[in-house]
Amino acid sequence: MNLSILLWREWFVMMTRKGCWFAEKHHAIGTYRPKGPADHAQAPARPAALALARVIRTLESKNMYHAPLLIDVAGTSLSADDRRRLQSPLVGGVIYFGRNWQSRGQISALSASIKAIRPDLLITVDHEGGRVQRFRTDGFTHLPPMRALGQHWRKPERKGHEGERAMQALQAATACGYVLAAELRACGVDMSFAPVLDLDYGSSSVIGDRAFDSDARVTTLLAKSLMHGLLQAGMAHCGKHFPGHGHVRADSHVDIPVDRRSLRAILRNDALPYQWLASTLAAVMPAHVIYSKVDERPAGFSTRWLQDILRGQLGFAGAIISDDLSMQGARQVQGQPLSLSEAALAALAAGCDLALVCNQSLDGGRALDELLDELSEAAVKGHWQPQEASEQRRRALLPAPTFAEYAAALESVGCEVKRKTLHEADDFAVTEAFVQAVNQSIDLVFLCQPNNPTGQITPPELVQRLVRRCADCGAVLVVDECFLDFLQQRDALTAKPLLQAAPNLVILKAFTKLYAMAGVRLGYALCANTALLAKMQAAGQPWGVSSLAQAAGAAALRETAYADAVRALIADQRPKLAAGLRALGLQVIEGSANYLLFRAPETLGAALQQRGVCLRSCGNYPGLSAGWYRTAVRTAPENEQLLQTMREVLK
């Protein structure tokens, strides 16, 4: 276990600053990856090496590192050319094909060799089930086409068993997702491009039985169940092909499909799964289809579709990954033929975060080398640059109510804060619902233990499930234990035993509370991930913690008698203060901290202030209404003085 001592306020800034540690975490599925100069030093020089170096320096100066290309490799093992390309800072990941497969052992070794070059590289595959399943031997399960699930949903029901078929289909979809993801994850694959959200109109041969159903409602529910199964096995997902490929007959692999329906018709039908799943989907792949009444450009090259409709109107905030740019449908825009680099630049300019380029490593991979060179030169000339808006699409999950400074720090750097409301009926306790609120779109989760201002303890077994859930979703979990030291059962409640097996876990501790050292503002973070700690230190304040503060902190850590006395006082006085508040007819939340949350008339705070008593109003906490107050548990005379003043005010 490693320990880093940091100033408290600066820790929050550091945790959320652009370019700090969590920027290396894949957004949703891995679009943005900060790197330092050393990460690129081994790549051999190419014709555009100078241009590439200038790109790297430009990105470094902006703390922006967009790796926009998703490429293929030629065979069952990496060639020297494959290794060289994967070292490029413009490459964000790899897509596998059937030619890359021989056996489980072989594909696992290939995945390991890719991660050895760059651990942040995303390994993907088109593995849906049915006719689109790259790996079928050596124990891989032959998954059914997704239409089979929709067909089961629609089987005639027995009288008195209405809805049973639908429930069975949903269960089967979850099982398919789990099996699909578990088998791939065991071989080092990070993501499959699934589920297909296209509707089955019976007209598209390229979609056909890959679609769940013709009804957007059935498709959405089955897809969500499949995504749940993927998530259970720790795999992200990608919905495709936005806004819908099922209505056109032409195959975008060999033709340029045109859908002549109105925007209204498309949004009322094909695009509905994306609307209903906007907050759940980790990634979306747009179609190489021209929707002529909306835009003359294919959806994957259209700012109207990707930015105005998908992000703006439907509210999708995950990653957008282009479909294969080597397909015929991607090689022409408004009647003009495009080179591979022009297609990639057009997709990125339209709003794609990753540009997928398939089957270009064959025959020496000249096309890939030209693409890397031309994209580098385009960046140097200002024809393309990473989109800062994409870098800012970060999400943190907080319970509500909880400590206000989490949200303040996160929002100060443009992080989107999502809250899971804790219910008064549960005494504002953190429940399983908070664990389930963590999904692939969440980058950072905060848990206050015990929670401030409720004083509620989250049971250790629930914390363990939360740690696992965050790990599965690629999120960092921050457990704030600054008030835990007031509790006599602190050793049984701390998350410290989970650190070694959970590199995504950070524990916060402070001297501010128990040791009454508020002016020193000294705290520390515990984490077993040395790389994460290094990034935290690097992103911290430019000045060090003073020698006086360090000495105070070290002395506090050795102190036992004072801390034991404080704990004994709190344990003795908390129930007495709670009983006194209830005797006044007030609603008290039975917390375990050195404070109590209670509900009283909204005028109580102002009335007490007139008598020289300041009471913390909690009406400004998200999740709490006016009339909620928090009071510290103090010595018996102090607590009695508070209660006596309240009796006088409330009589």
Residues identified as active-site: 253, 323
E strand spans, 209-295: 239-242, 258-259, 283-286, 290-291
- Cis check for the bond before 401: say yes or no (omega within 30 of 0): yes
Distance, CA of 521 to CA of 153 (rounded, Å): 59
What is the spatial distance between Cα 124 and Cα 105, in angstroms, rounded to a whole number? 17
Reduced 3-state DSSP string for 163-227: CHHHHHHHHHHHHHHHHHHHHHHCCCCCEECCCECCCCCCCCCCCHHHCCCCCHHHHHHHHHHHH
Q: Is 421 helix (H, G, I), strand (E, B) or coil?
A: strand
Give the per-residue SS3 of 444-465.
EEEEECCCCCCCCCCCHHHHHH
Beta bridge partners of 477: 445, 505
Token pair 């599965």: residue = 472
Specify the DSSP element, H or E, that contains 116.
helix 104-117
Q: Nearest-CA neighbor of 248 among 205, 216, 213, 282?
A: 205
Burial 582-612 (b: 16+ CB within 10 A, else e): eebebebbebbbbbbbbbbeeebbebbeeee
Gap between the Cα atoms of 35 and 66, Å rounded = 10
The helix (run of H) or strand (run of E) holding residue 593 is none
**Is there a cis peptide before residue 601, judged by omega within 30 degrees of 0?**
no
